[in-house]
Amino acid sequence: MAETASHRRSDSTVPTLIVATRRERDVRPHRLQQIEGTGAPRLIPLDREEFVMGRDEAANIRINSPRASRRHALIRQHEEGFELLDNESRNGVLLNGLKVHSAVLRDGDVVQVADGVFLYHES
């Protein structure tokens, strides 16, 4: 079969190296992986600027537990990723076993809201 000029490879072709920055490589959004509590296991992509965690029907991340406030906690986009905020809940929010009011989340963090336990993944 004869090779046409458009399909012939030139010996002078130099491969192009494309280097993506970390932001360009991270195609998957940050996410929460629920590992305990009603609804587990589930994976929640953090693909918006703010999430409400709680037992309210309108909560983005529903925690079906009498220990959860209606709007128990917030997860907001932050310049360093995502931030966890206790929304003046009755029972508080635990991050890696410690009660916190607010904290920037890091890959592998364990977030507990009432009976719901979540792992935070950056990508």
CA distances from 57 to 23, 41, 63, 69, 71 (A): 34, 19, 9, 12, 10
pLDDT at 109: 98
Calpha distance 40→119 (Å, rounded): 11
Say if residue 39's pLDDT is above 80: yes
The model's confidence at residue 24, banded by pLDDT at 50, 70 and 90, is very low
The string of pLDDT tens digits covering residues 43-71 is 999 999 999 999 999 999 999 999 999 99
Q: How confident is the model at residue 26 (pLDDT cuts 50, 70, 90)?
A: very low
CA distances from 88 to 45, 104, 109 (A): 24, 17, 21
Q: What is the CA radius of gyration of the chain?
A: 22
Tens of pLDDT along 113-123? 999 999 999 97
Q: Which domains are present in the chain?
A: 29-121 (2.60.200.20)
Residue type at 111 in one-letter notation: V
